[in-house]
């Protein structure tokens, strides 16, 4: 098979149109068509990496046909404490010993404090990495004692935090494992709120991997059906959050009408919440819904509309440094679609200043900065080379 044939086969396997794939890498549908029919030569490595990430192909040979070169080795980086977290996730306290008396209420307080660190600290991965091994151990132990249901809810949240720490690192199997364990714990609680939160994070796992579109949409809808948005703010917030999950899934595969239908549901839920409401650790609220509209527009390859929308979004209102930085990067992605390279670089650098570890582990940031450092014009190349050194993409 030629490069173009491999590209087309992967694109169709993922259910993507040419405009959608082109938009994900800042190119046009005609550019994708040119690659597929052989009119254009295969792109250079940084753009190959963007294509591989958009198509969720961990092995570049799936595109190039050459001997195995893994995209994760180029596109992803590992946190210094990844081995400790991976080890803690793999361990099970078969014999609990003295730690068998973990109090469910104390555990819940520790988990809440860890969420505060995740959202409130610039180097959020490093901040929570020292706490996660102990939390993973103690939360598992706590499920054996009194207050088991509450402990299972805390355990699900610890797995969510673990999933977030592991995300965009070269361990996709551990990300999936953390998400699956969170859902198992949540289902054991028989609590609609806990199940809804786990459905949100399960959607993250499979949406980021480009997998199980129909199943993840159905999971979000089923969990949404457990809630009573007319009865309480938390139900309304979680109902809106799962509506947002469905909208993002449809945008990812180019189904614009469905994406906006469910975004409207999320928007309606957010507007019905008290002024200034933000879920304590999921951060659902008016600013979050507005910010994800930028992502939806970028995924639909409507970069100009995404840029216009971004001018009206108050990211500070989200109440999370890492979420704000992520949505700043999504705005950069929209500018990149418009070939506004100076603005793109400025925004990913702004995100780095706000939350360095969000930018450092973000796949778009790493690929676009690498491309600018290697191939950028005079207006951006020197700054891109310097920033690539800060990100650890190239040696300084």
CATH code at position 28: 1.10.260.40
Eight-state DSSP code of residue 94: S
For residues 226 and 206, the answer to whether their CB atoms sit within 8 Å is no
Determine the Cα–Cα distance for residues 365 and 358; give it in Å rounded to an integer.
9
146, 167, 190 — which closes off a domain?
Answer: 190
pLDDT digits (tens, 9 = 90+) for 284-329: 999 999 999 999 999 888 999 999 999 999 999 999 999 999 999 9
Determine the Cα–Cα distance for residues 213 and 327; give it in Å rounded to an integer.
23
Residue 55 domain flag:
yes
Q: Is the pLDDT of residue 162 over 90?
A: yes
Phi-psi category of 15—alpha, beta or left, where left has phi over 0 and alpha has psi -120 to 50?
Answer: left
What confidence category does residue 65 fall into, taking pLDDT thresholds of 50, 70 and 90?
Answer: confident
pLDDT digits (tens, 9 = 90+) for 68-79: 444 444 456 899
339 contacts: CB under 8 Å, gap ≥ 6: 26
pLDDT digits (tens, 9 = 90+) for 84-140: 999 999 998 876 554 568 899 999 999 999 999 999 999 999 999 999 999 999 999
Residue 252's pLDDT is: 84
Residues 64 and 165 in one domain: no
Residue 153 domain flag:
yes
Phi, psi (deg, nearest 5) at residue 130: -70, -20
Residue 97's pLDDT is: 58
Residues 122 and 163 in one domain: yes
Residue 213's pLDDT is: 74
Residue 42 domain flag:
yes
Determine the Cα–Cα distance for residues 103 and 94; give it in Å rounded to an integer.
18
Residues 89 and 185 in one domain: yes
C-alpha separations of 257 from 9, 73, 173, 204, 251 in Å: 25, 37, 33, 21, 9
For residues 364 and 352, the answer to whether their CB atoms sit within 8 Å is no
240 contacts: CB under 8 Å, gap ≥ 6: 229, 265, 266, 267, 268, 269, 270, 273, 284, 289
Say how many domains are in the chain.
Answer: 2
Residues 65 and 91 in one domain: no
Residues 65 and 108 in one domain: no
Q: Is the pLDDT of residue 220 over 70?
A: yes
C-alpha separations of 297 from 15, 234, 365 in Å: 18, 27, 18
Residues 33 and 116 in one domain: no
Q: What range defines the domain where residue 33 resides?
A: 3-74
Q: Is the pLDDT of residue 182 over 80?
A: yes
Residue 206's pLDDT is: 78
C-alpha separations of 101 from 96, 97, 107, 154 in Å: 9, 9, 11, 15
Residues 84 and 178 in one domain: yes
Residue 374's pLDDT is: 84
Residues 31 and 85 in one domain: no
What confidence category does residue 367 fall into, taking pLDDT thresholds of 50, 70 and 90?
Answer: confident
- The residue with greater pLDDT, 98 or 209, is 209
41, 74, 107 — which closes off a domain?
Answer: 74
pLDDT digits (tens, 9 = 90+) for 23-54: 788 788 888 988 898 877 778 676 788 888 88
pLDDT digits (tens, 9 = 90+) for 323-351: 999 999 999 999 998 989 999 999 999 99
Q: Is the pLDDT of residue 227 over 80?
A: yes
Residue 208's pLDDT is: 67
What confidence category does residue 246 fall into, taking pLDDT thresholds of 50, 70 and 90?
Answer: very high
Residue 393's pLDDT is: 85
Percent above pLDDT 70 for the chain? 93
Nearest to 373 by CA among 362, 359, 389: 389
Residues 68 and 88 in one domain: no
22, 48, 74 — which closes off a domain?
Answer: 74
Determine the Cα–Cα distance for residues 200 and 382; give it in Å rounded to an integer.
40
Residue 75's pLDDT is: 54
Residue 296 domain flag:
no
Nearest to 250 by CA among 240, 241, 261, 239: 261
3-state secondary structure of 169: coil
- Provide the 10 A C-beta neighbour count for residue 275: 7
Mean of pLDDT values over 221-234: 97
Residue 67's pLDDT is: 43
- The residue with greater pLDDT, 47 or 222, is 222
pLDDT digits (tens, 9 = 90+) for 10-20: 999 888 899 88
Give the chain's count of helices (H) and strands (E): 23, 0
Residue 204's pLDDT is: 87
Residue 66's pLDDT is: 61
Residues 44 and 86 in one domain: no
Residues 70 and 158 in one domain: no
Residues 183 and 144 in one domain: yes
Residue 363's pLDDT is: 86
Residue 159 domain flag:
yes
């Amino acid at each position: 098979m030629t490069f173009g044939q491999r590209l087309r086969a992967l694109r169709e396997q993922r259910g993507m149109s040419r405009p959608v794939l082109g938009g994900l890498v800042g190119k046009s549908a005609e550019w994708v068509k040119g690659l597929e029919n052989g009119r254009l030569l295969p792109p250079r490595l940084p753009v190959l990496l963007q294509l591989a990430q958009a198509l969720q192909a961990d092995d570049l040979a799936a595109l190039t046909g050459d001997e195995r070169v893994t995209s994760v080795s180029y596109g992803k980086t590992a946190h210094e404490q990844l081995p400790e977290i991976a080890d803690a996730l793999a361990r099970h306290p078969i014999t609990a010993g003295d730690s068998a008396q973990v109090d469910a209420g104390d555990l819940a307080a520790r988990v809440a404090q860890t969420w505060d660190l995740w959202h409130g600290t610039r180097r959020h991965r490093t901040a929570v990495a020292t706490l996660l091994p102990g939390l993973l151990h103690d939360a598992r132990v706590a499920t054996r004692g009194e207050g088991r249901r509450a402990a299972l809810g805390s355990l699900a949240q610890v797995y969510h935090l673990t999933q977030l720490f592991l995300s965009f690192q070269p361990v996709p199997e551990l990300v999936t494992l953390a998400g699956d364990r969170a859902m198992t714990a949540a289902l054991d609680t028989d609590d609609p709120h806990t199940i809804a939160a786990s459905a949100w994070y399960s959607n993250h796992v499979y949406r980021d991997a480009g997998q199980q579109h129909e199943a993840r949409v159905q999971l979000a809808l089923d969990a949404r059906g457990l809630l009573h948005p007319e009865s309480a703010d938390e139900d309304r917030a979680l109902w809106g959050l799962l509506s947002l999950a469905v909208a993002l899934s449809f945008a990812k595969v180019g189904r614009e009408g469905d994406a906006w239908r469910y975004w409207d549901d999320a928007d309606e839920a957010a507007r019905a919440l008290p002024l200034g409401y933000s879920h304590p650790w999921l951060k659902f609220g008016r600013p979050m819904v507005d910010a994800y509209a930028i992502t939806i527009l970028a995924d639909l390859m409507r970069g100009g509309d995404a840029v216009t929308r971004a001018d009206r979004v108050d990211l500070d209102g989200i109440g999370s440094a890492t979420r704000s930085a992520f949505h700043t990067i999504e705005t950069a992605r929209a500018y990149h679609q418009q070939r506004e390279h100076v603005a793109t670089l400025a925004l990913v650098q702004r995100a780095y200043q706000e939350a360095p570890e969000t930018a450092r582990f973000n796949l778009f940031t790493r690929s676009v900065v690498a491309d600018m450092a290697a191939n950028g014009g005079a207006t951006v190349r020197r700054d891109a080379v310097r920033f690539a050194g800060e990100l650890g993409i190239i040696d300084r």
